[in-house]
């Protein structure tokens, strides 16, 4: 299937690398569950035995959004206070805070970003328990970290990171679930949903014709606002980044709460708004925001349940029945990967060759 989609035109078709990797994601998820889970549980057990007092997460670009997802998981599922590290405090300003007993998680596709490597090494010297989560076990980041998790996405040749993002989300979920020693019943209940994820992901990426039609709607958009709440917020951030780096389309991501504190004023009846509506508490918290957006006449593209998608100007219904909200981000991003790919082509761009090579592998 993936080959057909990537090669349904000449070999030189723009975006063929990105399209192939988007469609590879169901198989990558299966690989993480089958081959990656045992090692992830081992690492989590050793770290849990050291009883970290709080966590710091460090990343750039796409990986930063995966780290944000881990922050939600650690705070909600494990009650572990979390922060997002500011790398420049150590790399530029030379700060050396006491990180004794702190879990420092560095997330990176390639693991070669100099400031990420340097800040992780500084954290380890300051007493932190350092964990690298990468798609490259031979990376500098893996080498300077005490522990490493390989997300097993396989070589990623397209500049927009897609399969390494969802592989990171799933790997981080498995890590956080195992960090508690499996004592919470809800984690055991997630087993069936985890087993369903690859097949559900396959059902989503098979709907590329549906997404292609949606992309036509936004071919001439001048700006997009992306919003969500709770577990969906990292998806909103990642969708905005993908729109910017593949379509060169200005995209602003806001939590629903922040959108109401000022930025709502820029929304009118010509505004394109993409809303990621989780099936759960995050979606419930977002509904008053969606009501305000509809009242302002926004062109509202909703990614969520069938009922929520039907309330938008247009929508993409996700097959989330039986999938807890905490796992839905792994599915939410898939139609948005397809959308950014199709929209880039509609706007005359090749998503495999970002303008002026503005992004490097080390930045994700």
pLDDT digits (tens, 9 = 90+) for 293-321: 999 999 999 999 999 999 999 999 999 99
Q: What are the CA-CA distances from residue 23 to residues 63, 215, 363 (Å)? A: 20, 17, 23
Sequence-distant (6+) residues with CB within 8 A of 278 are 228, 229, 230, 231, 232, 286, 304, 325, 328, 332
What is the C-alpha separation between 147 and 134, in angstroms, rounded?
11
Q: Do the beta carbons of residue 261 and residue 252 sit within 8 Å? A: no
Domains and CATH numbers, the chain: 2-199 (3.40.50.10490), 203-354 (3.40.50.10490)
- Give this prediction's pTM: 0.93
pLDDT tens digits, one per residue of 273-290: 999 999 999 999 999 999
pLDDT band at 361 (very low <50, low <70, confident <90, very high): low
Phi, psi of 92 (to 5 degrees): -100, -40
Torsion sign across C-alpha atoms 134, 138, 140, 143: positive
Residues contacting 43, CB < 8 A, separation 6+: 131, 147, 148, 149, 175
H-helix segments, the chain: 2-6, 16-23, 25-31, 37-49, 61-78, 88-91, 114-125, 140-144, 163-179, 185-205, 208-217, 233-247, 256-260, 281-295, 306-310, 329-346
* Secondary structure of residue 220 in the 3-state scheme: coil
| pLDDT > 60? residue 14 | yes
């Amino acid at each position: 299937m993936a080959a057909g989609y990537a090669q349904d035109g000449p070999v030189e078709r723009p975006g063929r690398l990105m399209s192939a990797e988007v469609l590879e994601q169901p198989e990558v998820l299966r690989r993480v569950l089958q081959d990656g889970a045992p090692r992830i549980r081992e690492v989590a057990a050793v770290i849990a035995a050291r009883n970290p007092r709080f966590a710091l997460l460090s990343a750039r670009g796409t990986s930063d959004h995966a780290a944000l997802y881990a922050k939600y998981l650690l705070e909600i599922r494990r009650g572990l206070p979390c922060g997002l590290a500011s790398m420049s405090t150590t790399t530029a300003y030379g700060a050396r805070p006491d990180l004794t007993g702190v879990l420092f998680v560095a997330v990176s596709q390639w693991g070669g970003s100099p400031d990420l490597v340097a800040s992780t090494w500084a954290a380890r010297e300051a007493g932190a328990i350092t964990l690298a989560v990468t798609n490259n076990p031979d990376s500098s980041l893996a080498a300077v970290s005490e522990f490493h998790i390989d997300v097993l996405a396989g070589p990623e040749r397209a500049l927009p990171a897609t399969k390494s993002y969802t592989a990171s989300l799933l790997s981080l979920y498995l890590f956080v679930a195992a960090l508690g020693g499996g004592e919470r019943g809800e984690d055991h209940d997630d087993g069936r949903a985890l087993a369903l994820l690859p097949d559900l992901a396959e059902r989503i990426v098979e709907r590329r014709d549906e997404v292609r039609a949606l992309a036509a709607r936004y071919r001439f958009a001048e700006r997009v606002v992306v919003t969500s709440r709770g577990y969906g917020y990292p998806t909103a951030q990642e969708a905005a980044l993908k729109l910017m780096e593949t379509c060169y389309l200005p995209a602003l991501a806001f939590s629903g709460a922040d959108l109401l504190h000022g930025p709502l004023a820029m929304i009118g009846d010509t505004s394109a708004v993409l809303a990621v509506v989780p099936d759960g508490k995050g979606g419930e918290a977002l509904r008053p925001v969606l009501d305000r957006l509809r009242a302002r006449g926004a062109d509202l593209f909703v990614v969520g349940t069938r009922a929520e998608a039907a309330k938008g100007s247009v929508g993409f219904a996700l097959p989330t029945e039986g999938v807890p909200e905490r796992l839905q981000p792994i599915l939410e991003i898939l139609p948005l990967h397809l959308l950014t790919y199709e929209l880039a082509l509609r706007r005359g761009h090749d998503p495999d060759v970002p303008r002026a090579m503005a992004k490097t592998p080390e930045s994700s």
